[in-house]
Amino acid sequence: MTRIKVGVLGATGAVGQRFVQLLADHPWFEIVSLAASANSAGRRYDDVVRWVVGGDIPRQTREIVVELADPAALAGCCSLLFSALPSEEARRLEPEFAAAGFAVFSNASAYRMAEDVPLLIPEVNPEHAALVRIQQARRGWPGFIVTNPNCSSTHLTGVLKPLHDAFGLDKVLVVTMQAASGAGYPGVPFLDLLDNVIPFIPGEEEKLESEPLKMLGQFTGEKVLPADFRISAHANRVPVRDGHTEAVSIAFQRHPSVEEVVTALREFRGLPQVLNLPSAPHQPVVVLEEEDRPQPARDRLRGHGMANVVGRVRPCPLFDIKLVLLGHNTLRGAAGGSLLNAELMACQGYFDGLSADLPLLEGNCL
């Protein structure tokens, strides 16, 4: 099988590096272009990147000459782009790429809440992918933009999904303890985070209180009606490298027992599991039994960093249920999530009209 040619926008940053790492040996996608700002353009990737995501720079990308993140510069290179652009640049450039015919899978926050842009987690709301048809029609774009949520929202929503389906969410109170890598690189100074907790992350609580409602909302065929429950979030930065931990209390419309909640989480399988997508974890939500788990240092790599891990499911004196959840913020919560979105939409045929060079996918998608 010929692989689909892809590019990475913002390839030198921390999330861009994760894209490069995850795409290195991908069965369906092949990196042909790395794009970044004018500072880096024109130089070899291994000369401009400060590699911070572990292991080595993949051999096949070391010598790629970085291009300017601009539709003209990338014209014809590929039809699929992963975007790790900073929010302001994403706001400006992603529509230009979509207008130029690219399918843009963006980790940026700029268009997440736009009415005609899917905010997508394949296990949660795969049907929202169809929003891109509305988007293309409304904006006259041959390409499109698909976003994945904020990292903390990703993990929270991934766990809430089977519970909302089974028991109806009413109220969710979440307190996050987020890893330093969520702030990118260089990100948080060592002097600010050693021996410390920073009880504030700009914009994070707003995202946590809104993005899950869009994702758990109903797609009418025209637009998404947000889900009808309420979230309150406290966001904290803690001295951890990778892995966001979230303490969650949940009130339901129907009032499940602890056992019912555990069962609903354990038995949950989404479309990526059915389709056996390359980056899909076997089990989207792993529930641990130990009384002191999940822990980021011990559990963040479960399901190759693509599983959400839950523990300490127990009654809440105020709501129905308390639990702790953990997700790997730069894998499932960023580049890995975006990649899974592209796999889903490749499988569903969304790229077929984009370019003549698209190969047929084999396996479950056929």
Which chain residues interact with a second copy by CB under 8 A?
Answer: 52, 54-55, 171, 173, 175, 177, 180-181, 185-200, 209, 230-232, 234, 236, 238-241, 245, 247, 249, 291-298, 301, 311-312, 316-319, 322, 324
Which residue, 200 or 349, is less far from a second copy as judged by CB? Answer: 200
Catalytic annotation, pick one of 151, 155, 328, 347:
151
What is the sign of the dihedral through the CA atoms of 210, 215, 218 and 224? positive
Give the span between the Cα atoms of 364 and 366, in whole angstroms.
6
* Two structure tokens written together for 256: 């499940």
Q: Are 165 and 136 in contact (CB under 8 A)?
A: no
Instruction: Decide if 347 is catalytic.
Output: no
The DSSP call for residue 68 is E
Which residue, 32 or 175, is less far from a second copy as judged by CB? Answer: 175
Beta bridge partner(s), residue 120: none
Give the span between the Cα atoms of 289 and 121, in whole angstroms.
26
Q: What burial letters (b/e) apply to 143-163, b meaning 16+ CB within 10 Å?
A: bbbbbbbbbbbbbbbbbbbbb
Q: Are 328 and 304 in contact (CB under 8 A)?
A: no
Instruction: Decide if 164 is catalytic.
Output: no
The least distance separating a second copy from the CB of residue 187, rounded to whole angstroms, comes to 6
Half-sphere exposure of 24 (CA within 13 A, CB side): 14
The least distance separating a second copy from the CB of residue 311, rounded to whole angstroms, comes to 7
Give the span between the Cα atoms of 26 and 71, in whole angstroms.
24
Which residue, 175 or 262, is less far from a second copy as judged by CB? Answer: 175
Instruction: Identify residue 359 by its one-letter amino acid code.
Output: P
The least distance separating a second copy from the CB of residue 362, rounded to whole angstroms, comes to 30
Q: Are 328 and 245 in contact (CB under 8 A)?
A: no
Beta bridge partner(s), residue 29: 4
Q: Are 280 and 305 in contact (CB under 8 A)?
A: no
Which residue, 5 or 18, is less far from a second copy as judged by CB? Answer: 18
The number of residues in the chain equals 366
Which residue, 32 or 316, is less far from a second copy as judged by CB? Answer: 316
The least distance separating a second copy from the CB of residue 298, rounded to whole angstroms, comes to 7
Which residue, 3 or 293, is less far from a second copy as judged by CB? Answer: 293
Instruction: Identify residue 287 by its one-letter amino acid code.
Output: V
Q: Which of 226, 241, 134 is nearest to 177 (CA)?
A: 241
Catalytic residue numbers read 151, 244
